[in-house]
Structure 1
Amino acid sequence: MTVTTDPAPPPPPPPSAGAADDGTLAAFGYRQELRRQMGRYASFAAGFSFISVLTTVFQFFAFGYSFGGPLFLWTWPAVLAGQLLVAACFAELAARYPISGAVYQWSTRLSGPAFGWFTGWIMVIGQVVVVAAAALALQVVLPAIWSGFQLAGGDPAPTTATGAANAALLALLLLVLTTVVNVVDNRVMSAINRVGVTAEIIGAVLIVVLLFTHVERGAGVTLRTGGQGGPVAALLVGSFTAAYVLIGFDSAGEMSEETHNPRRTAPRTILGALAVAGVLGGLLLLGGVLAAPSLTDGRLATEGLGYVLTSSLGSGVGRALLADVAVAVCVATLAIQTAGTRMLFSMARDGMLPLSARLFKVSPRTGMPFAPALVVGVLAAALTLLNLASPDAFLAIGTTCIAMLYLAYAGVTAPMLVRRLRGQWPTTDADGRDELGRPLFSLGRWGLPVNALAVAYGLFMTVNLSWPRAGVYDPAGGHWYFQWFTVLFVGATVAVGALCRRRAPAATPAGQPDRTDAAEAAAV
């Protein structure tokens, strides 16, 4: 007699994307209020548009070259490598905590409410400063396209009084537009981001190709300093350009609550946005140095890549490409303001800020948090007015925002490293599943060395950026507060934050598990 048995039933299929998305926030104790309408490319665009290589390379190329000469190009791969270490840590966290206010949420769940609150506070203030700095970048490109954009008259160079005043005017107009878009509709904002990023990538590739077809010298020139000070000073200060450009990749995590399949999508778009921006930005810098008509006439150290485009490619082609850069500036300002808005929304939703009840409300008609967008826009506009006080304010604002974001990043990677050293962080890829039923993104056995190097790099760059160098922050002398601006601003941010936290309602982030079990519980 033959005995037959029924075959084992097949494993159940993974939940559909919609069902998985619906349950993502419920696991953390939050309701789905923001509209989940972003796909993978839109998530990539959120991170890439914050980085915005065209905006920041054009904005800070002249500064890096003025201090480091051609040698400053070598700081680019060094900073890119360091930021990839940080991004790899963030990718692991994005898979396990797909929540708006990413840096705040990650730090809180890795350490505790108090430490996480200050990390989030520093991050959101840093983002506000970045919004202001990005908006001020319009001055670098618009007057070079058409003199009529110099509304204040006089010399359009950002380092002059008239250029600084005009930069503030253009920035204020841009911030009005980006604030309106940030309260209109998620689909409108996402569409503008996607179109803008596509235009920026096409423009960046075109600029790189044209620059390399107009080279004037060989790559060996990158071994020369030619800037202010010796090689070490050139590299330390010249690294500011790369440090300013290669930030904001975490924005893909900020938009997790509006992204389909965020556990799977966000880790890959965080790394992808940084990698693409790193390659394009490095080629832009190299092409600019090799194609510049002269390395010694002083124009490259004051006018930057705009001078190279209009001089080497002709005024017509150069201005057309600068128009694409102007689009990138606008989209970058929008993306950075959006990231700051989501951070403010996330902290307010946890009752961690004064007036939290008003700040975390989401419009049922648009699906957008109105009050945080307005707050970020108004604060950024107020900061741009510092440019009216002195042209040196531009550099002070720019370096301050970089240092604050680096400090906030360390507020995530440091407690993550402590978790690893205590054996409280998963070391295998079997610690959870994404929306498609596949293992969560994991660094595995490489997690500890990558995390340790990310912390060391982040702390080193924070100190490097904040160091009160008179020759960098107060070259004309007589403005000691610009020399110490970053240190003073960070100190004031922490002090004001302490007062705000005391006035905020006593609350614990919704759905936050006990911190000793946070990593394990979130991965389920």
Structure 2
Amino acid sequence: MTLTAPPSSPPSAPPSEVHDLGALGYSQELRRGVGSFASFAAGFSFVSILTTVFQLFGLGFSLGGAAFFWTWPIVFAGQLLVALCFAELAARYPISGSIFQWSSRLAGTDFGWFTGWIMVIGQILTVATAAIAMQAVLPAIWTGFQLVGGSGADSSPVSPTGAQNAVVLGLIVLALTTAINVIGVRLMAVVTSAAVVIEILGVIALVTALFFHSERGLGTVNTTAGAAPGHYLPLWLASSLMAAYVMVGFDSAGELSEETHAPRRTTPRTIIRALVVSGIGGLLLLLAGLLAAPSLTDGSLATSGLAGVLTARLGDVGGRFLLAAVAIAVFACTLAVQTAGSRMMFSMARERTLPFSSVLAKVSPRTGTPIATSVVVGVGAAIALAVNWNQSAVFLALASLCIAMLYLAYLGVTVPLLVSRIRNRGLADGVDEDGNPLFSLGRWGILVNVVAIAYQIGMVINLAWPRKEIYDLEGRGWWLQWSALLFIGLTLVVGAVIHWRTRIRHGGAIKLPTLHTTADTTAEAIA
């Protein structure tokens, strides 16, 4: 890696922040327009409990019944351990492309490259999956949003007309989010911040209204009412896809570190805060929905999900009003995921590790954003949608696959982090922009790290398991049932070819400072 001297401080970045980034090996090209709340909003919007709970509530319930509720606190506890590990790294390495950067500095750039590559592909798929969530909301607000087949067509996401309409709505959303990302990070921050306020208010209103209309007691969550027939444990494990899909992306605050004011202080807090707020809000939303559902056994909850509960309990007007908040959350989620993916790709490109790196690493002097990577992520997500035009299982397969990819990328950080903890007896100390000690787990670091890895390995296996209920609803062939493992394998093979060719072109591996070498200079970098 070639270090360049930091330029003069741009108006949006105090000199201390420019100098800090320069000590880490980079010049201040991206504009620092993200404050504390906007940083939280980026992570919260990526998680987006309204988007993902509404999108996959029916799936979780159809598999595990009412007791699928318990997958939520288990996944939350596991992901909180991962978030704590990430918060430590975010304080020491406030750099765009956080997963790639952390993994590279912990385990070497070859290992880090594959971690970043898996993360980028997973983020592109997540953008696509978030965009098509509009199908679970907009037609329920107004039948005119069912553009394929007309307003009388089946709008269920697993029906042929519903799946095709999901692609159309998703492409429209992607066009809008790409335009916002191209315009600049400040507009993105304003949009996501406003949407997060609406989403939080919407969650509070939804939970309150549904609890007010409760029909059954808390003991409901200890029953298997509504579960699919068969051995229950495999079904319950499959139902955890919903919780696993919701609680990822809290690390996206780290992706915006180079655009965040006082990132060593701000980013660790917002990573944890985004997950904790989402975890509590989602738990209450799930519980309220189960208690207020008109029936647990007539099949309606599995097909219409929370949208059906809302319209049944609050009427068309009240239900549609709250569904509008969900639509806003879906849009903000797509925007946040696309932003995170573009920053990951930008971070890899400026190390010359991707094809067309000179174009992908270019930052617009007018907007202060990497325009090319925003467009590439948007186009990639659009292609992922387009190839699923005739696949009614688009929701389930894409959701499970993209989350399995993200969990693998997270493992690419937590495993080498544990090795570094053991070899170096913890992480290096330092201070944040206010002169306070960096966020640290202290003596609990190794234990938290070990349990986090165990949880992640179990969840990767669970998500990628070749289940017909997830990957091949219509029984079209073994290759669909095994598509997750096949796609992950293909991603690694293609990645290996790209990485090999790039290394040859640039004369060997890039060199990044190791974790401890740079972290020890934190105080000097900020001074």
TM-score exceeds 0.5:
yes
Q: For residues 327-382 of structure 1, what are the alpha-carbon distances to aligned partners after superposition, in whole Å with 9 as ceiling and x for unaligned?
A: 11011000000000000000001111111011010000000101000100001000
Partner residue in 2 for 1:8: none
Partner residue in 2 for 1:197: 196
Deviation at 1:389, TM superposition (A): 2.2
Query: Partners in 1 of 2:110 and 2:523 — Cα distance?
Result: 23
Is the 8 Å Cα contact of residues 58 and 140 (structure 1) preserved in structure 2?
Answer: yes
1:377-388 equivalence runs, <5 A: 377-388=378-389
Write the letter of the residue equivalent to 2:204. V
Unmatched 5+ residue regions in structure 2?
1-12
Q: For residues 382-406 of structure 1, what are the alpha-carbon distances to aligned partners after superposition, in whole Å with 9 as ceiling and x for unaligned?
A: 0011331211132111100000000
Query: Aligned residues, how many?
Result: 506
Partner residue in 1 for 2:264: 263
Partner residue in 1 for 2:295: 294
Query: Partners in 1 of 2:49 and 2:27 — Cα distance?
Result: 35
Query: Greater CA deviation, 216-225 or 438-447?
Result: 216-225
Q: TM-score, normalised by structure 1?
A: 0.94
Q: TM-score, normalised by structure 2?
A: 0.93
Is the 8 Å Cα contact of residues 171 and 384 (structure 1) preserved in structure 2?
Answer: yes
Partner residue in 2 for 1:459: 457
1:113-262 equivalence runs, <5 A: 113-153=109-149, 154-226=153-225, 227-228=227-228, 229-262=230-263
Match of 1:61 among 57, 60, 64: 57
Write the letter of the residue equivalent to 2:356. L
1:501-516 equivalence runs, <5 A: 501-504=499-502, 505-506=505-506, 512-514=512-514
Write the letter of the residue equivalent to 1:355. F
Tell me whether 1:48 sits opposite 2:41 in the alignment.
Answer: no
Q: How large is the Cα RMSD of the aligned pairs?
A: 1.6
Write the letter of the residue equivalent to 1:187. R
- Structure with greater Cα Rg: 1
Query: Partners in 2 of 1:460 and 1:155 — Cα distance?
Result: 37
Identity of aligned residues (%): 56
Query: Greater CA deviation, 23-32 or 127-136?
Result: 23-32
Partner residue in 2 for 1:359: 360
Query: Partners in 1 of 2:105 and 2:113 — Cα distance?
Result: 11
Query: Partners in 2 of 1:217 and 1:514 — Cα distance?
Result: 56
Query: Partners in 1 of 2:391 and 2:514 — Cα distance?
Result: 49
Query: Partners in 2 of 1:295 and 1:414 — Cα distance?
Result: 41
Unmatched 5+ residue regions in structure 1?
1-16
Query: Partners in 2 of 1:137 and 1:177 — Cα distance?
Result: 15
Is the 8 Å Cα contact of residues 100 and 253 (structure 1) preserved in structure 2?
Answer: yes
Partner residue in 1 for 2:444: 446
Query: Partners in 2 of 1:426 and 1:521 — Cα distance?
Result: 13
Match of 2:75 among 41, 63, 79: 79
Tell me whether 1:70 sits opposite 2:71 in the alignment.
Answer: no
Query: Partners in 1 of 2:518 and 2:492 — Cα distance?
Result: 26
SS in structure 2 at match of 1:495: helix
Query: Partners in 2 of 1:105 and 1:484 — Cα distance?
Result: 31
Is the 8 Å Cα contact of residues 397 and 470 (structure 2) preserved in structure 1?
Answer: no
Query: Partners in 2 of 1:304 and 1:451 — Cα distance?
Result: 36
Deviation at 1:128, TM superposition (A): 0.1
> Residues 88 and 357 of structure 1: is their aligned pair in 2 closer, same or farther, counting only changes over 3 Å?
same
Query: Greater CA deviation, 470-479 or 485-494?
Result: 470-479
Deviation at 1:509, TM superposition (A): 8.4
Deviation at 1:425, TM superposition (A): 2.9
Match of 1:476 among 474, 477, 482: 474
SS in structure 2 at match of 1:177: helix
Deviation at 1:521, TM superposition (A): 5.0
Deviation at 1:420, TM superposition (A): 1.2
